[in-house]
């Protein structure tokens, strides 16, 4: 009898162990397989690739569209025949970007000058200037980063307020502003550009990584609310991309294997739109994400904090030598 009970316990423990491993692998490997399919499918099944205009509509709005990922993403959308509303705070650069897009692609552009550190005021201005133009693809890309990795008390109050406002409040309000129209048309897409720092708290960029964790939670919840209306909510969490946000580190920018150019990143990221709800957006980043998620949370926090602290140390040494030029980390 005792032996039978032991066998039964062993059986149930084995079943529980199998289910735990299965759920863990499904959670962590499925996004990688989805990303691989999204990248490879157009090469092997060309007819599978549906026009973004046909699937979502003819107009996209991209915030932070004059630099980095936002600019490259705008070009990729235009390449696919999507008209672009470019939103950023610098009018001259907006005009230059719009002219460049229209000279290369047969699409229309519209520019809107808006400073998202103003939060609701900026969003209301965008809504007013959009008027009745239907926005079919909204790309919440604008974001702000620390000038360099720092202890919380070293970060200026205004920088903290701006990071929270730009990275979370503006994206939330912009999503709300255009979701209603998408719901009525029963189609549309919201792309929230986050960061791989969302996967765990990251010391020395504490506020920034916390805002990205918020965006992940926000994207997943809004997707649940609106997917039944035909609206796609995609969450992008890239690892390092060579943009102004990373100018504090020459080490990062020299790593061309894992640090994608904005153009490389946007090409793959746009290919996943409508195919993946949550992804890093770039196949090498998907491998990095898979590896990161396999580690326990405590280990991730420790390694992340240690790595960023080293970047901070290098930056401060360069600052002492006068080899640093201050750049506003806004895109």
Distance (Å, whole) CA 24 – CA 43: 30
Distance (Å, whole) CA 94 – CA 176: 24
Q: What is the pTM of this model?
A: 0.84
pLDDT of 48 strictly over 50: no
Q: Establish whether 208 is a catalytic residue.
A: yes
Per-residue pLDDT, averaged over 154-164, amounts to 97
Q: What is the reported pLDDT for 317?
A: 87
Q: What pLDDT, in 10s, does the model give residues 80-105? A: 999 999 999 999 999 999 999 999 99
Distance (Å, whole) CA 123 – CA 63: 11
DSSP 8-state symbol, 150: -
Q: Which of 292, 98, 287, 134 is nearest to 209 (CA)?
A: 292
Distance (Å, whole) CA 74 – CA 95: 14
Q: What is the reported pLDDT for 247?
A: 55
Cα–Cα separations (whole angstroms), residue 100 to 59, 74, 94: 18, 11, 10
Q: Would you say 88 and 66 are in contact if contact means Cβ atoms under 8 Å apart?
A: yes
Beta strands, E only, the chain: 59-63, 83-88, 109-113, 137-140, 188-193, 231-236, 278-279
Q: Which of 279, 289, 236, 196 is nearest to 72 (CA)?
A: 236
Query: Active-site residue among 73, 146, 148, 208?
Result: 208
Per-residue pLDDT, averaged over 101-130, amounts to 96
Q: What pLDDT, in 10s, does the model give residues 301-323? A: 999 999 889 988 888 888 888 76
* Domains identified in the chain and CATH numbers: 53-320 (3.40.50.720)
Q: Would you say 139 and 60 are in contact if contact means Cβ atoms under 8 Å apart?
A: yes
Provide the edge-to-edge strand list for the sheet that holds 137-140.
109-113, 83-88, 59-63, 137-140, 188-193, 231-236, 278-279
Per-residue pLDDT, averaged over 128-149, amounts to 95
Distance (Å, whole) CA 188 – CA 104: 25
């Amino acid at each position: 009898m005792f032996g039978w009970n032991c066998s039964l316990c062993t059986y149930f423990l084995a079943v529980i162990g199998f289910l735990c491993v299965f759920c863990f692998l499904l959670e962590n490997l499925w996004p990688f397989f989805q990303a691989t399919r999204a990248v490879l499918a157009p090469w092997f099944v060309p007819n599978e690739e549906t026009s973004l205009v046909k699937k979502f509509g003819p107009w996209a709005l991209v915030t932070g569209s004059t630099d980095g990922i936002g600019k490259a993403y705008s070009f990729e959308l235009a390449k696919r025949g999507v008209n672009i509303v470019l939103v950023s705070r610098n009018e001259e650069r907006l005009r230059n970007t719009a002219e460049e897009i229209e000279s290369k692609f047969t699409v229309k552009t519209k520019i809107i000058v808006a400073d998202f550190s103003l939060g609701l005021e900026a969003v209301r201005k965008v809504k007013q200037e959009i008027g009745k133009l239907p926005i079919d693809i909204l790309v919440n890309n604008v974001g702000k980063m620390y000038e360099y990795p720092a202890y919380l008390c070293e970060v200026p109050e205004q920088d903290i307020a701006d990071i929270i406002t730009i990275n979370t409040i503006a994206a939330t309000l912009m999503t709300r502003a255009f979701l209603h129209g998408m719901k009525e048309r029963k189609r549309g897409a919201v792309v929230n550009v986050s960061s791989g720092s969302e996967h765990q708290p990251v010391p020395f960029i504490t506020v920034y990584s916390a805002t990205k964790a918020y965006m992940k939670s926000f994207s997943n919840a809004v997707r649940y609310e609106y997917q039944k209306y035909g609206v796609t909510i995609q969450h992008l969490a890239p690892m390092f991309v060579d943009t102004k946000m990373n100018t504090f580190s020459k080490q990062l920018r020299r790593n061309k294997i894992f640090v994608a150019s904005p153009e490389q990143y946007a090409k793959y990221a746009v290919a996943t739109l409508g195919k993946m709800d949550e992804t890093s957006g770039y196949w090498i980043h998907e491998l990095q994400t898979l590896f990161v998620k396999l580690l326990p949370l405590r280990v991730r926090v420790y390694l992340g904090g240690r790595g960023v602290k080293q970047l901070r140390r290098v930056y401060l040494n360069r600052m002492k030598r006068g080899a640093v030029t201050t750049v506003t980390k806004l895109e």
